[in-house]
Chains A and B, each alone.
Chain A
Amino acid sequence: MDYVFHFGPILDRWPLLLWGLSRTLELSLVSMVFGLAIGILGAVAKSFGPRPVAALASAYVELIRNTPLLIQLYFIFFTLPFIGLRLSSDTAAIVALSIHLGAYATEIVRAGIESIPAGQIEAGKALGLSGRQIIRHIVIVPAIRAVYPALGGQFILQLLGSSIVSAIAAEELTAIANNLVMQTFRNFEIYIVVAVMYFVVVQAFIMLFRLGGRLLFRWKV
């Protein structure tokens, strides 16, 4: 083993790597917000919507969950220009990631909704709450609370999965890493450093979610 590790060329470019990391976080957080919004709508549609709407929501969930993110990404990136929507690779990445996460979030939030006892909704009706109030305060908020850990896990998967958008040259950590590889030929060192960066961020988010869960859901059920 004559190989000499050179981390120097990588450490010289650490601002670039940090910028890539911030882009990865941005992609994950923005798509998480949109994905969660889609998920809540989808779950309400599946649980309370009229039959055609519920069926549509189910079809969306099944289609997205049973095809690879990479293909969804390609489909959105290459097809949308044909209907006059020319998206930058960054925008296409956010759209694809949001639609992808939306399907998983729909299933997660729906599981939360199912965990709400019917009596609780009836109690809301008996207290004279409106339908919208019931869905918001008695169904959605407790449902999200019930599935909060699952949503956190899904966010972690989204953060890791976002590395795939480097395939359409969207700018984030993995794409930056690939560029640095071409500039420095320090393949192993770069991927090790980037893997450690992902790892540290993931562990930080796991801790953050644990802390956040404790702060957000202090009241007793």
Chain B
Amino acid sequence: MTTATAPSKPGRVAASLPQTARDIAVITQRNLLRNVRLPQLIILSTIQPIMFLLLFNYVFGGAIGGTLPEAAGGEYINWLIPGLLVQVAAFGAGQTALGLAEDLSKGVIDRFRSLPMARSAVLAGRTFSDLIRNGFVIGLMLVVGFVIGFRYQTSFAGLVAGLALAMVFSFAFSWIMATIGLIVKNPEAAQQAVFLPVFPLVFASSVFVPTQTMPSWLRAFADNQPVTVTVDALRGLILGDGALLPGNTVEGQVLLSLLYAGAILAVFVPLSVRVYRRTVN
């Protein structure tokens, strides 16, 4: 018997750019087809945020309406929509964890990892397809908002910029969720695990109500965490400066939101790729 030697590290040969792009496109298309072929998936995940929209607007709207800044034009719906767009972005990103956990448990990831494809394509394809899907849900949400009385107070360009920012946030959040999905592995457990970061971030924020009435310790967190920053940036873009906390500017909030997204991506893209490489079922 020959003496066993420790295997050397593999040469990390990165796939060529065109190949990577093509592999990402193949995986993105595969994931999107799932939404098209199983329309109940997207219907169910659209109903939930619309239910949130209707409940919050008609249940809390009257009570909260009076306390809102001028910029909301006296309508809670105007205040609520930018918040809910970010909420949808955060909740929708949770699908990334679920999708990956499902692929892992079904052995699909094993197949992918045994193929001569770009290593990054499974994760990138997943986050891209979830981005497109979330864009669809966000758009639908906006339409329902318009129907029940939402009006932007700045300009159409401001609204479009706000939507774009929500998408950037959704994409960044998807990479956090990708990491969670790969670590948790089990789809049922992943479903629960995604709520751990999402719930505190969405509720301890300015999504539903202004943060001014929160206790100071909570406010310190709420005012500075990425969901509030992004929601405030959207409100600034869609409703105008008056929707912001005193001292904050639209440009400042947008920049801060983009910085958050950049920081999340800088940490979680390499982290999730690392976890993916090591994942053993």
- The answer to whether A and B come from one shared complex is no
Q: Which residues of A contact B (CB under 8 A)?
A: none
Q: Which residues of B contact A (CB under 8 A)?
A: none
